[in-house]
A and B are shown apart, each in its own frame.
Chain A
Amino acid sequence: MKWLLVLSSVLVALSSAEKDNACYSKTVNECKFQDNNENLNDCNALFSGFLKNVVELQKYANHQVEKSFEYLLLAANFGTYVKNRPGFEKQFRALSDKSWENGIKLIKHITKRGGVHDFAANSTYKTEKKPLLGFNEMQSLALALDYEKTLAKEAHHIHQKNAHAQHTDYDPEVAHFIEEEFLEYQAGTVRKLSGYTNDLKKLLKEYSSEYSKKETGDSTLALYLFDEYLAKQ
């Protein structure tokens, strides 16, 4: 009788990795026959379409961690005594901290859903590394805006993959997680950075003599004041 039960439980396990009672039936057998089974894989947290798209979350987590170190370097660029823009430094440092926090958040969520994080998963959304030094204030803000948009687009991509109705990979929980933890905040960051960029563009505009009959070379002062403003944000 025992072999029949074992055989049937194996068949059950084979028929579907995600059988609704996989954990229960396996455990019942193990308790009954006191099997020496170290394998706990049947009692995992996996369900729904999560495993189909987990690689997207892994890529995103790694991308966030990498971005956090790029932002750190960008912040350092404005912390030099030559550039000396504490306001800009503070903003880029905040972006770095946020990306780091997001990376950890994603790893936690992957494991929350029964996944394993793969540190080698490489995001296709990754941009090539730029030689950040020598980047002036305007360039850096523009770059950060593009970076944040790329990160936001990747979040939208993950959401779309998980939330698409009638999809076999459907996993509303992941979609909700992305919505709750990323989408709204990212829209805010993108808007904030685009606002800064446009403000700074206006401030750095110099008018040629035929327009104002005078050189208005006050970019330097504008940058100083804008940096002070950023330091208070």
Chain B
Amino acid sequence: MKPIFIAILVICAAGSSYGKLRCDVGSSNVATEWLDMTAGCIDKVRHQIQTEINASMMYLAMAAHFSQDTVNRPGFAEFFFHSASEEREHAMKLIEYLLMRGEFKTSADYAAVGELMQVNVPVLPPLVSGVAALEQALKAETFVTKSIKDVIETCERDNDKNDYHLVDYLTAEFLDEQYKGQRDLAGKISTLQKMMKTESSAALGEFLFDKQLL
């Protein structure tokens, strides 16, 4: 029986070896006149991707800090885990935008974006309290806002061209969220600071505020 089985296997193998895999189907040939983003502007958008990823990792580190048993601030932890995922989504939105505008097609484009998607080890200042963390978050958001405004300014006049659509998109989608987020953080800091005004109310203030965040 065994030799027959082997013979069948050999025949099958020989039969299938006729088929060659053709994995590359070649490329298409699409006109490129419709691509109208300028190099300087594209570069800025790409760098913004890395800025968002860095912010995401920073929030992840803050969330990990507040999750610790000896810190035990589940509300803050959830808040920052959520922020980390949000920043990751911003990075994805920017990539999707470049894809939509067709400015993400050659290996060079790809390599440039790939290089700007580094997962860096987040370095945090020691977070002594919830207020300190919220202040750190507000600082980071202010930096991101400034960075987005910088992208807008470049794309408004790079190479004497105004990229109306990108500028509008960043203003309506990104800046809107930034300012609302900053207002939210500022409000939280204000409330928490007031709750922790005195030495004796500090512990209870942070405890109660944390539960509110859940």
Contact = CB atoms under 8 A, between A and B. Distances in A.
B61 A119 contact: yes
5 contacts: A76-B110, A79-B96, A81-B102, A100-B88, A119-B61
Contacts of B20: 205-206, 208
Given A100-B85, A136-B23, A223-B25, A76 B113 contact: yes
A21 interface: no
Contacts of A73: 110, 113-114, 117
Interface stretch (B4-12, B65-73, B138-146, B168-176): B65-73
B92 interface: yes
Interface string A95-121: 000001001100110111010110110
B187 interface: no
A73 B111 CA distance: 10
Contact of B99 (A65, A76, A138, A211): A76
A231 interface: no
A139 to B, nearest CB: 7
Interface stretch (A12-20, A37-45, A158-166, A172-180): A37-45
Interface of B: 15, 18-25, 27-28, 30, 53, 57, 60-61, 63-64, 67-70, 77, 81, 84-85, 88, 91-92, 95-96, 99, 102, 104-105, 107, 109-111, 113-114, 117, 119, 121-122
A183 interface: no
A62 B198 CA distance: 40
A129 to B, nearest CB: 8
Contact of B110 (A116, A119, A132): A132
A208 B121 CA distance: 52
Interface residues of A, number: 52
B23 A79 contact: no
Contacts of B24: 136
A80 B117 contact: no
Contact of A65 (B77, B109, B119): B119
Given A79-B96, A107-B64, A120 B121 contact: yes
Contact of A138 (B23, B60, B63, B64): B23
B19 A82 contact: no
A219 interface: yes
Smallest CB-CB A-B distances: 6 pairs: A133-B110, A205-B19, A111-B67, A211-B18, A45-B69, A138-B23
A223 B18 CA distance: 20
A56 interface: no
Contact of A139 (B23, B70, B122): B23
A211 B19 contact: yes
A229 interface: no
Which interface residue of B30, B70, B85, B109 has the most chain A CB atoms within 10 A? Answer: B70
A79 B111 contact: no
Contacts of A62: 119
A153 interface: no
Contact of A206 (B19, B30, B64, B91): B19
B22 A217 contact: yes
A77 interface: yes
B69 A114 contact: yes
A146 to B, nearest CB: 16
Given A77-B110, A133-B110, A108 B88 contact: no
Contacts of B105: 80-82
A143 interface: no
A107 B63 contact: yes
Contacts of B64: 107, 110-111, 116-117, 119
A137 B60 CA distance: 32
A45 B63 CA distance: 18
A201 B69 contact: no
A188 interface: no
Contact of B18 (A139, A210, A219): A210
Given A44-B69, A81-B99, 6 more contacts: A72-B91, A103-B60, A111-B64, A133-B114, A136-B23, A205-B20
Which interface residue of A44, A81, A116 has the most chain B CB atoms within 10 A? Answer: A81
